[in-house]
Amino acid sequence: MAANDPLLQPYKLKHLTLRNRIMTTAHEPAYSEDGLPKERYRAYHVARAKGGIALTMTAGSASTSRDSPPVFNNVLAYKDEVVPWMRQLADACHEHGAAVMIQLTHLGRRTRWDTGDWMPVVSPSHRREAAHRSFPKEVEDWDIERIIKDFDDAAERMKAAGLDGIELEAYGHLLDQFWSPLTNDLDAPYGGSLDNRLRFSFDVLGEIRERVGPNFIVGVRYTRAACRVLLGGLRDARLGGLTFWTQPNSWHHVMADHAVTFCVLPLGPDRTLLRTTWLIHKDAVEGVDYDPANLLAVWEATNRQDAALVEMTQAGVVSPSYEPGPYSPFTEGLVEDFCQWYVERMGAGLRG
């Protein structure tokens, strides 16, 4: 049966042959130390290579510039010291048959100024970013030249480390901020027409390709609207997203074309009710403006992955051999608030 499963068949990506079609997409485990992917970070990805995946996409995302300080203890791809550590990671994963890539980015306005080297946040406009609340400096010509070079240098470091390729994160980050007229107030050559707004991305990609040569995978990660009818009076689907929490137990993700809300309710020590609601424009027509399977696919997959992670964690906690720790010093405060509320609710229920 496995021999006939398309998911397990080799896949050729340009010159690179992957042993199957299973990969881990870019995400940040926050295991780097001083911005470097040291032993724990390496072990995290090597475990997946041992498990049989064809490609592990590291980082989520690695920062290419000093004025793009990471939010989740990300890898600092602008450091020369990253090369030997990434080489050890790549060599170890290659030994177990898995290809290795890394996601690179410049966050633009999607970060904070009061972290890292305390440098001004830059973007193609002064418009404030909703999630991290930064007022960006409008990017200047010399900033653009420097940032393009930073992308090129980071890509060259990854090739020198023996990786198989890179992926540039566009959605919500600096590349995407150039694309939308709602976040790009620049004049030509990098603002105005669509061709001009795309110019920065093409300049980055062109310079990277010239630097790394033809036998190195270079990709871009971006997203498209799931529904053709946008919410409210919005005219551009490329607005990024707004994420906010209603404490203690609700999460809300709002995009230009749809919104998703999650509500989590504890039912017992080992049972939790998760309710997910998708909202689209009332005039959107199913099968014409949106495909329900496409609309729900990412979030349903996310829910299944989260459920599997929680089930695995619960199985470990109830094991007789369980011993607490060690815990990462990097946590999400809102998640901790939810966990504290959950524990208090369960405690109240047990006390009757």
Q: Which residues are catalytic?
A: 173
Question: 3-class DSSP state for residue 120?
Answer: coil
How far apart (Å, rounded) are the C-alpha atoms in residues 256 and 268? 36
State how far the alpha carbon of 141 is from the alpha carbons of 119, 124, 161, 210, in Å: 17, 11, 31, 21
152 close to 208: Cβ distance less than 8 angstroms: yes
DSSP summary character for residue 33: B
DSSP summary character for residue 8: G
DSSP summary character for residue 279: E
119 close to 63: Cβ distance less than 8 angstroms: no
Tell me the torsion sign for CA atoms 62, 338, 309, 88. Answer: positive
DSSP E strands: which ranges in 202-240?
A: 217-221
Closest CA to 104 of 177, 168, 32, 38: 168
Query: From the CB of residue 58, how many other CB atoms can be counted at a distance below 10 Å?
Result: 29
How far apart (Å, rounded) are the C-alpha atoms in residues 51 and 219? 25
Residue type at 130 in one-letter notation = A
